[in-house]
Amino acid sequence: MPELKKEPKEKVTVGDEVFIPLLTEDQIQKRIAELGEEIRKDYQGSVPVFIGVLNGSFIFMSDLIKCVELDCEIDFFKLSSYGDEKLSSGKVKMLKELNCDVDGRDIIIVEDIVDSGLSIKYIEELFDEKNPKSMKVISLLVKPESLKYNVKIDYIGFNIPSQFVIGYGLDYSQKYRNLRSIYVLRDETSIERPLQTKE
Ligand code: PRP
């Protein structure tokens, strides 16, 4: 049996960069339990569809739906990942489409992090056309100081500073998503890095 650790690693080293704990596994799980209960109360009598935005949201979504004591369904879709095109042009591409029909359904979009808000803005417009009964957005993390678009996040796990974070679904060059806690780049406060751009 693998050891179940509740304490985060003291640090995570990537090349010459050092990441230190920002949110522990315990803090994350406790907050998810609260969010799950809030959603249960809000969706009494409904069978909501949780729609995860790949890749980052998959761990959060998995833990979240276990904390929502309601019948529910799930689906996923994938947008273009961070890259120069997205940052400079403000455009988002669909890389993997949704499978389910959301017409007339209560849908909850699940994100790991909202940074500039561009993805959510795109998603709002996209799903508006699909005619759901209702649409809400949940994000484990939000960087309020990085928001460039006027978007509404209905359920927020944690507001965090505009610093680069990894773990619990969040990657650095596609790695470190499997860390149980969330880590932040140490000494980053002086560095101008408004968006999650590390590739
Ligand atoms: C991240 C995150 C959000 C988006 C947030 O995904 O999961 O979907 O960026 O940024 P925004 O608010 O500025 O649009 P990313 O494109 O890095 O892909 P990933 O989930 O596969 O890591």
The answer on pLDDT for 193 being more than 90 is no
The answer on pLDDT for 86 being more than 70 is no
* Best residue among 112, 143, 147 to mutate for probing ligand 1, ranked by most atoms within 8 Å of CB: 112
Summarize pLDDT for 41-63 with one digit per residue, the tens: 999 999 999 999 999 999 999 99
Confidence category of residue 92, pLDDT binned at 50, 70, 90 = confident
My answer on whether omega of the bond before 99 falls inside 30° of 0, hence cis, is: no
Residues in the chain: 199
Q: Tokens 């993997």 correspond to what residue?
A: 96
Mean of all residue pLDDT scores within the chain? 90
Q: How would you classify the pairing of strands 49-54 and 73-79?
A: parallel
Ligand 1 atom index nearest CA of 177 = 22
The answer on pLDDT for 119 being more than 80 is yes
Summarize pLDDT for 68-81 with one digit per residue, the tens: 999 999 999 999 76
Is 115 an annotated catalytic residue? yes
Q: pTM for this structure?
A: 0.91
